[in-house]
Amino acid sequence: MLYELLKKCISKIKDKISSLTSSKQDSQTVYLKENLTVPFSQRVTFGRNIDGYEVAEIIFTNAKTGEKKEIVNHKAAIVNFPGVMEDKRWTDFLGKNCFADEYVHYRTSIEDYDDEKYIIYWCIQPDGRYWEDEDGFGGTSDCEITLYTFIDKEGNFTGPFQVYNVGPKYFL
């Protein structure tokens, strides 16, 4: 009797797991859970695509039309790169390990901002401690520099990247 009851419970759990994962076809699929649409294939990338171990790309899927757009491609390039608004608030702090080109070299993340748009944060220079080993050797005096821009609900950049923070100082 107990065995049959456990068998039914396990069967129900397997069915529930199967129903939740059966809609997952690939990394570009929109996932639905209780009518909640997740618009991005992932929200964070470090730009590395080492033998498929780490996925660099971020795909946006329009909730209304189902249309897919690359935000970051598999080579870590920001697709339809909107440019960078340069100003002395961050350009004066550039070190040798800064990359303000159209590629993700360090952390890039996307968050909900409001009902109209998402915000994308793009670290172009990590804090100098990024380069340290476990003994503190190899670090630099660089401060972290992160830029931001917005993506609308259609998956389009709304303007160029601009300064978000330089070290502990924030500008947004």
Cα–Cα distance list, 50 to 27, 44, 77 (Å): 16, 16, 15
Does residue 25 or residue 124 have the better pLDDT? Answer: 124
Q: DSSP string spanning the chain?
A: -HHHHHHHHHHHHHHHHHHHHTT--STTPPEEETTEEE-BS-SEE-S--STTSS---EEEE-TTT--EEEEE-TTSBBTT---B---HHHHTT--TT---SSB--S-EEEEE-SSSEEEEEEEEE--GGGG--TTSTT---PPPEEEEEEEETTS-B-S-BEEEEETTEE--
What is the C-alpha separation between 50 and 55, in angstroms, rounded?
A: 8
Lowest mean pLDDT among 7-11, 24-28, 110-114: 24-28
Q: What is the pLDDT of residues 106-150, one digit of tens each?
A: 999 999 999 999 999 999 999 988 888 888 898 888 999 999 999
pLDDT of 31 > 50? The answer is: no
pLDDT of 6 > 50? The answer is: yes
pTM of this structure: 0.76
